[in-house]
Amino acid sequence: MQYISTRDSSQTPFSFCDILLAGLAADGGLYLPVEYPVLNDAQLTKWRSVLEQEGYHALAAEVLELFVDDIPKNDLKGICARAYNTPKFAHEDIVPVSQLEEGIFIAHLSEGPTAAFKDMAMQLLGELFEYELERRQDTLTIVGATSGDTGSSAEYAMRGRDGIRVFMLTPKDRMTPFQQAQMFGLDDPNIFNIALDGMFDDCQDVVKAISADADFKREHRIGAVNSINWARLMAQVVYYISTWIRTTDSNDEKVSFCVPTGNFGDICAGHIARQMGLPIDRLIVATNENDVLDEFFKTGDYRVRSSADTFVTSSPSMDISRASNFERFVFDALGRDADRVSELFGEKVKTGGFDLSADDVFPTLADRYGFMSGKSTHADRVQTIRDCSEKNGVLIDPHTADGVKVARDVRHQVDTPIVCLETALPVKFAETINEAIGKDPEIPSRFAEIMDADRFVVDMPNDAEAVKKYIAENATV
């Protein structure tokens, strides 16, 4: 299995372990497999047995073998066993699935150490990084951006690991108190929290600017844990497969997925799984008030917004107006035309976006790739949280509520069961939960002391050069 950049017309191939440590391609593009593995009936049948008899970690190892040929199979099995186990994850299924109501299910992706779906990829990424760095006798400086949950998931996955430093950028005062406490409460010598004066998109732009500085990237061994890193999406493909298995009885049954998203990473993994041949009917994009993706799938116009025009909402992890992983999908949709993708994302996105409404490809997106979309507002998510609590006896977080709201909106248009991907536990969003049900969510015992911890964070301006200087000054742990 080899990988290419979405912006490289020469299609220069790279191995998995090379792109694992590189993150973003040197040309600014994102890595994808030269071609997706193709699943068959026998493989799906085997995976049903593997999941039932051996568990999630064994299924993960089997899926990873399709994408990774430069790590021995037994080593991959060990990596997955260390990443996915109890008590690291609170439920023995790792990703349990439950029925919310007729035709709608929830895949519980928040059983990990930071109570967010990001743990599903980060725990694997931590094991892969440590394995490959030890094999190469090398070090890695991780520079990432978070709108809420990526940061804490990454830091909990990387803390204490030899040869790894983490510099995580957050939008100053834009995360919930619990999310800030999870990150800023870590007092580890290899963890550095930076509160940037701006929105998440500004943080992401700084990370991309640092990655684009080839000399700085090489000197400081810069890598990425954001969903620009292919390994994140590879890990997420696994739970689409496990969830499909847990919600079907036979291989001829299809399911649909409704995914709350801002950066298009979570649902991009679903797109990849569907391209591989997993029996997925619809992929339903659920946005909040920052509805760039909903607007595109309805009109063909990908109209990015500035930080000033990005709404601050009660589902803050989705307060994103430039979806990095969208480039991967457009690359596929445009027949993997790297020159055109380079123009769209390397040039036009910087000046406001692009419009594919007149392109022959746009009318085919629903049939070829299964995409639908919808949006949710603050009033919608509060009402959905209240309704699920009162009628279904289930308490969900605001992002998951965005997904449930959209799933309910489109239910009559979809012929298959819809699985809503859970984003986080409600404890992370106490203010909105209280507004919805009149009381704060219960705090799981493992997080009982988190709000009382000291804070370790540095405030910085929205300036890539200033961040680079800080990284250079803290080059040695």
Q: Could you give the 3-state DSSP secondary structure of residue 252?
A: coil
Mark whether 217 is an active-site residue. no
Using alpha carbons, select from 223, 245, 227 the residue that is nearest to residue 235: 227
Q: Which amino acid is at 143?
A: V
How many separate helices (H) and strands (E) can be counted in the chain?
A: 19, 15
Structural element, H or E, at residue 170? strand 164-171
Query: How far, in Å, CA of 138 to CA of 132, rounded?
Result: 8
Using alpha carbons, select from 86, 76, 79 the residue that is nearest to residue 55: 86
Using alpha carbons, select from 180, 142, 187 the residue that is nearest to residue 164: 142
The residue count for the chain: 477
From the CB of residue 295, how many other CB atoms can be counted at a distance below 10 Å? 16
CB-CB contact of 259 with 265 (8 Å):
no
CA dihedral in degrees (320, 326, 328, 329; nearest 10)? Answer: 150
Query: How far, in Å, CA of 71 to CA of 57, rounded?
Result: 16
**Pairing state between β 418-421 and 255-260:** parallel
Query: How far, in Å, CA of 128 to CA of 38, rounded?
Result: 24
Structural element, H or E, at residue 458? strand 458-460
Of the residues 77, 118, 208, 375, only one is catalytic, namely: 118
CA 356 to chain CA centroid, Å, is: 25
| Encoded tokens for 183 | 């990150």
Using alpha carbons, select from 245, 234, 244 the residue that is nearest to residue 50: 245
| Encoded tokens for 227 | 């969903």
User: Exposed/middle/buried for 2, CB within 10 Å: 0-12, 13-18, 19+?
Assistant: middle
Q: Which amino acid is at 169?
A: L
- Residues with catalytic roles: 118
